[in-house]
């Protein structure tokens, strides 16, 4: 299994923003190599942003709720369901 999280970067304005699509494509080259190299069958996106990002670069995944803001129990259940 490979656990992926949304990628962020710090801007000069000292706020976090999502990576641009061209930056994501650079990272997807590495994922495209790692997934078959380690025979990864399940990719879990933690949260909506992670799922959207993985979908944008063409990687299929299961989405589970992010544990923040009261989502801890849904996160635990999602991990149990998708990691077995």
- Output the CA torsion 48→53→55→59 (10° steps): -120
The arithmetic mean of pLDDT across residues 54-79, rounded, is 91
Predicted structure pTM score: 0.72
The arithmetic mean of pLDDT across residues 26-31, rounded, is 82
Q: 63 falls in which pLDDT band (50, 70, 90)?
A: very high
Residue labelled with tokens 């650079």: 26
The pLDDT score that the predictor gives to residue 19 is: 66
CA-based nearest residue to 43, from 35, 23, 66: 35
Q: How many CB atoms lie within 10 A of CB 71?
A: 15
| pLDDT tens, position by position, 32-54 | 888 999 998 888 988 888 888 88
């Amino acid at each position: 299994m490979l656990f992926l999280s949304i990628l962020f970067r710090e801007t000069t304005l000292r706020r976090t923003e999502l990576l641009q699509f061209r930056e994501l494509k650079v990272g997807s080259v590495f994922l495209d190599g790692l997934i078959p190299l380690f025979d990864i069958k399940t990719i879990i996106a933690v949260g909506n942003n992670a799922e959207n990002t993985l979908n944008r670069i063409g990687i299929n995944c299961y989405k589970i709720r992010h544990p923040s803001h009261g989502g801890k129990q849904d996160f635990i259940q999602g991990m149990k369901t998708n990691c077995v």
